[in-house]
């Protein structure tokens, strides 16, 4: 199919750490090649502002959110994963259960350590608790929204 189009991007380095990007793209197929009712033009716009993290902060952020993802999987997927492992090997199920408890405990500890930005022990504890709540609540809500969307989409 013949087509015409292109992409234009503008990138500005605002400071040493801040960068702005704006882009536009278009794809316009040759009308004679389209089936009846086919899309005659696709276009998209994009704009963002990025901040370049130091390598250590980037690693810490990935580690922290990686732990939150593991925690989320332990909370949401525990029952399904435990049942699958139990069906596969009853001897592995206790190790899986223990490992899950250790991962949840480790996530709580890492949240507590990140909470040092708050004030003292109780501030750290509050940070860990609210982070765990946010991950569980929005993770479960997000999963239900995805399930609902896929169910509606399949009809």
Of residues 78, 113, 80, the one with CA closest to residue 99: 78
> Averaged over 101-117, what is the pLDDT?
76
pLDDT at 34: 66
Q: What tens digit of pLDDT does each residue of 40-99 get?
A: 778 899 999 999 888 887 777 777 777 777 777 777 777 777 777 777 777 877 887 888
pLDDT at 33: 65
> Is residue 151 very low, low, confident or very high in pLDDT (cuts 50, 70, 90)?
confident
Tokens matching residue 11:
């990138």
pLDDT at 117: 59
Predicted TM-score of the model (pTM): 0.43
Could you give the 3-state DSSP secondary structure of residue 89? coil
């Amino acid at each position: 199919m013949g087509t015409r189009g292109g992409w234009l991007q503008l990138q500005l380095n605002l400071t040493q750490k801040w960068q702005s990007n704006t882009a536009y793209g278009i794809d316009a197929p040759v009308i004679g090649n389209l089936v009846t009712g086919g899309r005659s033009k696709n276009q998209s716009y994009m704009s963002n502002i990025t901040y370049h993290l130091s390598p250590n902060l980037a690693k810490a952020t990935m580690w922290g959110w990686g732990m939150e993802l593991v925690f989320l999987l332990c909370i949401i997927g525990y029952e399904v994963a435990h049942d699958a492992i139990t069906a596969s090997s009853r001897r592995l199920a206790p190790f899986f259960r223990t490992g899950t408890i250790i991962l949840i405990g480790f996530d709580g500890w890492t949240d507590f350590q990140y909470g040092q930005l708050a004030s003292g022990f109780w501030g750290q504890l509050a940070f860990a608790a609210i982070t765990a709540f946010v991950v569980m609540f929005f993770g479960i809500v997000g999963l239900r929204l995805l399930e609902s969307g896929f169910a509606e989409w399949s009809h």
